[in-house]
Amino acid sequence: MVNFKINIDGISKFISREEIKLFENEAISNFKKIVDRTGEGNESLGWVDLPENISANLIAKVNEEANRIVAQSEVIVIAGIGGSYLGARAVIEALSPYFSKNNQKEIIYAGHNISEDYLDSLINWLDNKSYSLIVISKSGTTLETAIAFRLLKTHLEKKYGKDEAKKRITAITDAKKGALKESSNIEGYQTFIIPEDIGGRYSVLTPVGLLPIACAGFNIEKIISGAKNMRKKILESTEVFENPAFLYATIRNILYNKGKVIEILAQYEPKLFYFCEWWKQLFGESEGKKGKGIFPVSVGFTTDLHSLGQYIQEGQRIFFETVISIEKSKNALKIPKLKADFDGLNYIADKNIHDINSIAEKGTSLAHIDGNVPVIKFTLPEINEENIGEMLYFFKFSCALSSYYNDINPFDQPGVEAYKSNIYSLLKKL
């Protein structure tokens, strides 16, 4: 049983149910490539059964390490980029309150840019904080992460001395290879392994995501349990209207073939901003190959209705929209009624703000559909650990499935090497 629901009323003007049904066999064949491990990139399918296979022992070790890190730190720095960064940040930001962090430790990020200003400010700010560092890199050689790690390791050693610094560094990397693995062995850092058969953007349910999330005070068992429920849902039916991943992947590809080459993921809850960043990386890096693929972008509504809204309504008709809709609010904040109705808002007085946001969502979707933008809607009752776990698994599976519609290997990223080799040659790396 999953809480996540998919509503396709907003595409009925563009695609018929019969058209979707015609793709069922293709969906089944792509599904088999994943579950029977026969598709391209099948050496990277470790994430498929991970929610079932993850051991209680590993979860306990992650929680134990998180407790140790939290006990010794005011601030925890997570250094990583791409798949070694976005999953953790997506979940932490989605689950954290906007302002008061209560007893939560401050989680900050590094290694995801090469801004001197950012890194210099970070180091100066950390001078007066007690902190620990979690460094995450599967290859162990990524430039952005390696630069941040070198700076922070040096800073920690200067601030605490070499022995204490070692206790404040935890490395998450490959079991055997890479510079980070090597330095962890030499220095004796506490280390977690990224399984060989799970690539960066599919790794959020490994220690890559779980350790930072546990440090932020969230229940990783519940996230895994949500992912497990979604896995069960996706594996139990090959009927296209019963299987949410079949339905999403199929609709995306039908729309793509009709010229809708951009997918806009829209959220109405700003704490989902990084969830959308994670989604963009997942789909962009998985599908954008061989001159093909839907270009993934994201918007935060209603904020972006005042910027990109105009284009979405009336610009080129080349996109479709996928909305993440949250049914319930944790609060009960209402519009106050004022005697002097100076702003004319008394017509919505006593209405809950969340209800107004939901009405804005409904009105916007209807306008976009009228403007020839197909809308797929995903609904979650609320943002919590289980529901986030469901979404993480849902999008990973759908992404792999969707890539196979276009004969794309969802698990490699050959194009990322081009910019890297240019940087290295410009920097005269030997």
Residue 153 sits in the site that holds ligand PA5 (CB under 6 A)? no
Which of 63, 139, 302, 358 binds ligand PA5 (CB under 6 A)? It is 139
Residue 391 sits in the site that holds ligand PA5 (CB under 6 A)? no
Which of 73, 137, 190, 206 binds ligand PA5 (CB under 6 A)? It is 137
Residue 183 sits in the site that holds ligand PA5 (CB under 6 A)? no
Q: Which is nearer to ligand PA5, 250 or 298 (CB)?
A: 298
Choose the catalytic residue: 258, 330, 420, 429: 420
Which of 82, 212, 296, 374 binds ligand PA5 (CB under 6 A)? It is 82
Which listed range, 138-146, 162-170, 238-246, 401-409, lies at the site for ligand PA5 (CB under 6 A)?
138-146
Among candidates 414, 415, 412, 423, which has minimal Cα distance to 147? 423
Residue 83 sits in the site that holds ligand PA5 (CB under 6 A)? yes
> How near is the Cβ of 136 to ligand PA5 at its closest, in Å?
6
Choose the catalytic residue: 285, 321, 361, 390: 285
Which of 10, 200, 226, 293 binds ligand PA5 (CB under 6 A)? It is 200
Q: Which is nearer to ligand PA5, 143 or 308 (CB)?
A: 143
What x-and-dash track marks residues 289-318 binding ligand PA5 by CB under 6 A?
Answer: ------------------------------
* Active site annotation includes 420: yes
Q: Which is nearer to ligand PA5, 322 or 413 (CB)?
A: 413
- Name the residue number minimizing CB distance to ligand PA5: 200
Residue 44 sits in the site that holds ligand PA5 (CB under 6 A)? no
Q: Residues interacting with ligand PA5, by CB under 6 A?
A: 81-84, 137-139, 142, 145, 199-201, 285, 413
- Residues tagged active-site: 285, 306, 420
